[in-house]
Structure 1
Amino acid sequence: MRVRLLGTGAADGWPQAFCRCASCGAQREDRILRVPTSALVDDVLLIDGNADSPGAATRAGADLAGVRHLLVTHAHVDHLAPQLLLFRSWVSQEPIDVVGPAAVIDACRPWVAPDAPVRWIEVAAGDHVELGRHRVRVLPANHRVMADGDAVLYDVEDAGGDRLLWGCDTGPWEPAWFDAVREADFDVVVLEQTFGPAGQVSPGHLHLDSFGELVKRLRGVGAVTASTDVLAVHLSHHNPPESELVARLAAMGARPARDGEIVTGRPA
């Protein structure tokens, strides 16, 4: 599995364009810029494609021409830009799957022609979906747009057995949810960490302490192992500057992801 992280920031990016706080200033000085979080998996699966994703792909020397599956966690604007389906239709009539909770499907339908080659796949936690050479299991998220259950997370496995946990957005998990990933032994875990040391600013997101606790619980059920690459994303200016953040996350067996970086499954 080849996962290109197109963006690793929160909804407002980091640095935040309207902000001159010390955290944003340090990121500008170091030219570490993050746009809202999304990823391109094996060049065919776009996860949480947002308005910044096309530009991010171009800056990374990639494109989205091969995308055949759009996988969306929820209908917040930093995770879903339905206009991308219109832009794509101007240059391609290749079939595409659009996968997500009901609100995602409803938001996307007006952006495509009635006869467009789109397969609409509405999902909820507990569902399984086959997307070409990828198998997707839908997991619950402690996050909501308008109602409980309208946001989900994804367990993505490729034909070779490499496995990705896409954990963005979510707050702390319910204890029963860990059973669904017991002994999963993920190759890559991409997990949100929005609020740094600020504490519980929002129950639908993680901060450094709750991120560390969730990673610890995932490790305790065998979902995270010694060889799992644990990446913090959805990073905001509530976090400390990069050098301090690297150290804080390293103590948890994790690291902050960077826009444009490529992570892969473990060698056979």
Structure 2
Amino acid sequence: MDVLLMGTGSADGWPSPFCRCDSCTTMRERGELRTPTSVLLDGQVWIDPGPEAARQALRAGVDLVDVHTVLVSHAHSDHLDPAFLLHRGWVTDRPLTVYGPAPAIERCRDWLAPDQTAVRLVEVTAGDGFAAGEYRITVVPAAHEALGEAVLYRIDAERSLLYACDTGPWAEGALELIGERRLDVVLMEQTFGDRLDLAGQRHLGLTTFARSVAALRAEGLVDDATRVVAVHLSHHNSPELEDQLRAIGAEAGRDGQRLGAGDR
């Protein structure tokens, strides 16, 4: 499974274009830019098609022509810009299935012609499981709210990946649904860094991120060979985030980064 991190930032990105805090200033000076989180698996499965995602693909030197499955975690605009359905429809009628919780799927309907047959919209909820080509997908509850339900996804093929964005500390039943088989890659949000006053029940900061990773380790889902990558990063984090994450066996994702088998 080739994992392309097209975007790894929060809604406003890191650095924020509206901010001159030390964190944003340092990241601008370093030339490090993180845009809203979006992921592409094997060029075929697209997770969270946000407002920057199509251009993120082009910047990474790839296209989205072979995408047959889109997984949407929730309806917030940084994770879903349904206009991609219109733009795609201008150039192709290849079959596409979009999965997501009801509020996200509802946002997609207005961007499709009533008589079109290429795109299928499928509502999912926590506890569902389905196959998309070679991929086996499990829908996991998120500790988040976005006009209704938000979800996480476990994806199994040659490798196993958990996409956990956006979420606070594990929702009830989440670990059980993630299952017993170990994960090769964990992509988990870490929005608020050391800001304990902001990290609550809907997003993670460094402390709750570390606890969430520890819970996965305790369940045997994460071991020393698992790639644990923090995404949905914001300017509330320190520019020295890599050192902070390394101490808990994790790393910070970067826009355009590939996580191929064996890559570090």
Q: Match of 1:169, SS? A: coil
Deviation at residue 5 of structure 1 after TM alignment: 0.4
- Once residues 245 and 18 of structure 1 are traced to their aligned partners in structure 2, the CA distance between those partners, rounded to angstroms, is 21
CA contact (8 A) 2:3 2:41 kept: yes
- Once residues 217 and 261 of structure 2 are traced to their aligned partners in structure 1, the CA distance between those partners, rounded to angstroms, is 18
CA contact (8 A) 2:142 2:174 kept: no
Q: Match of 2:194, SS? A: helix
Q: Match of 1:197, SS? A: coil
Aligned to 1:181: 178
- Among candidates 218, 221, 236, match of residue 219 of structure 2: 221
Of 6-15 and 174-183, deviating more is 174-183
Deviation digits for residues 119-161 of structure 1 (CA, Å, limit 9, x no counterpart): 22110000012111111100010000133xx100000011x2x
Correspondence 1:182-221 to 2 at 5 A: 182-201=179-198, 202-221=200-219
CA contact (8 A) 1:142 1:204 kept: yes
Of 103-112 and 195-204, deviating more is 195-204
Matched, 1:15 2:11: no
- Call closer, same or farther: CA 1:175–1:141 in 2, change over 3 Å: closer
Correspondence 1:116-155 to 2 at 5 A: 116=116, 117-147=118-148, 150-155=149-154
Correspondence 1:55-134 to 2 at 5 A: 55-116=55-116, 117-134=118-135
Deviation at residue 223 of structure 1 after TM alignment: 1.0
* TM-score, reference length from structure 2: 0.96
- Once residues 56 and 177 of structure 1 are traced to their aligned partners in structure 2, the CA distance between those partners, rounded to angstroms, is 30
Q: Match of 2:233, SS? A: coil
Aligned to 2:258: 262
Gaps (5+ residues) in structure 2? none
Deviation at residue 175 of structure 1 after TM alignment: 5.7
Deviation at residue 182 of structure 1 after TM alignment: 4.3
- Once residues 182 and 86 of structure 1 are traced to their aligned partners in structure 2, the CA distance between those partners, rounded to angstroms, is 36
Deviation digits for residues 3-40 of structure 1 (CA, Å, limit 9, x no counterpart): 10000000000000010000000000000100000001
- Call closer, same or farther: CA 1:181–1:121 in 2, change over 3 Å: same
Letter in structure 1 aligned against 2:34: R
Letter in structure 2 aligned against 1:157: D
Q: Match of 1:9, SS? A: coil
Moved over 2 A (4+): 174-177, 179-184, 264-267
Q: Match of 1:104, SS? A: helix
Deviation at residue 64 of structure 1 after TM alignment: 1.0
Gaps (5+ residues) in structure 1? none
* TM-score, reference length from structure 1: 0.94
- Once residues 176 and 122 of structure 1 are traced to their aligned partners in structure 2, the CA distance between those partners, rounded to angstroms, is 20
- Call closer, same or farther: CA 1:43–1:143 in 2, change over 3 Å: same
Deviation digits for residues 214-236 of structure 1 (CA, Å, limit 9, x no counterpart): 00010000111110000000000
Deviation digits for residues 47-80 of structure 1 (CA, Å, limit 9, x no counterpart): 0011101111111111111111111000000000
Letter in structure 2 aligned against 1:113: A
Letter in structure 2 aligned against 1:152: V
CA contact (8 A) 1:99 1:105 kept: yes
- Once residues 217 and 125 of structure 2 are traced to their aligned partners in structure 1, the CA distance between those partners, rounded to angstroms, is 25
- Call closer, same or farther: CA 1:120–1:80 in 2, change over 3 Å: same
- Once residues 256 and 121 of structure 2 are traced to their aligned partners in structure 1, the CA distance between those partners, rounded to angstroms, is 29
Count of matched residue positions in the alignment of Structure 1 and Structure 2: 261
Q: Match of 1:212, SS? A: helix
- Call closer, same or farther: CA 1:200–1:170 in 2, change over 3 Å: farther
CA contact (8 A) 1:8 1:257 kept: yes
Letter in structure 2 aligned against 1:85: L
